[in-house]
Amino acid sequence: MSFFSRIFQSSKTKTPADLSSLKTDIHSHFLPALDDGSKNMDETISMMREIEKMGYKKLICTPHIMSDYFKNSPETILPVLEKVKTAIAAEGINLELSAAAEYYVDFDFERKLKEEKLLTFGKNYLLFEISYLHPPENLNHVIFNMITQGYKPVMAHPERYNFWHSKFNMYEEMIEKGVLLQLNINSLTGYYSIETKRTAEKMIEKGMVSFIGTDCHHAGHISLLNKVVYEKSLHQLLQSGKLLNANL
């Protein structure tokens, strides 16, 4: 048995975790034809039907908003949300749907923060992501501005930012600055990388995770959700009392 096989085998349990305890998924790309997620309504319906079977009750759909690529806004997102609500109701899918967004901290984000009413979820939680290459130089300033303007910043999938894997204290600094951390559930399968899995597990061990999300883009992510329920670290997270998903 290889080294990596031993790692993955040792992280498993025979009893599947109960995802219904989460109630709410706070990060997904189910709204069709808005970003790199669902391509059409049929794909959306198919994925939502599977999500319902897993025990989720509510989905907060979070399309990307990027100034130079996915140029979404409430005006593009909310009408699609209403169409999806109508479509799944016709299919007998009993899920409560709402929409926020996954904001990319780019050259125009601070202007949006100052001039626009941003899409949030729950108690004014604002989901944001940063570059996978390097953190923005103005990140601390942006976080300060989010908080002073009444938002509660939630960093999307911090375990995927490779530049912090060897600087774990940066995650702790984010929390100290008032940022909540949202883990991608499929990070626990090793889907993104073994280092991402290890970082996610360390965050769970230290009680640093406030939200967990599917970040579901396509059917492949749905398939992984049926496997991640056997990860010991997911059981640990669900039993930690730290997650806020069920309170939304």
| Per-residue pLDDT tens over the stretch 54-74 | 999 999 999 999 998 899 999
CATH of the domain at 96: 3.20.20.140
In a domain, 45, yes or no: yes
> What pLDDT, in 10s, does the model give residues 151-208?
999 999 999 999 999 999 999 999 999 999 999 999 999 999 999 999 999 999 999 9
Q: How far apart are CA 210 and CA 55, in angstroms?
A: 20
Tell me the pLDDT band of 34, cut-offs 50, 70 and 90. very high
Q: How far apart are CA 4 and CA 178, in angstroms?
A: 35
Share of residues in the chain with pLDDT > 90 (%): 95
**SS3 (DSSP) at 245:** helix
In a domain, 8, yes or no: no
Distance of CA 241 to the CA centre of its chain: 18
In a domain, 174, yes or no: yes
Give the phi and the psi of residue 25 in degrees, each rounded to 5.
-100, 125
Ranking 10-19, 126-135, 143-152 by mean pLDDT, the lowest is: 10-19
Residue 162: which domain range? Answer: 18-247
| Model confidence, pTM | 0.95
Distance of CA 95 to the CA centre of its chain: 18
In a domain, 115, yes or no: yes
Tell me the pLDDT band of 8, cut-offs 50, 70 and 90. low
Residue 60 CA neighbour count, 13 Å, CB half: 23
Q: What mean pLDDT is reported for the chain?
A: 95
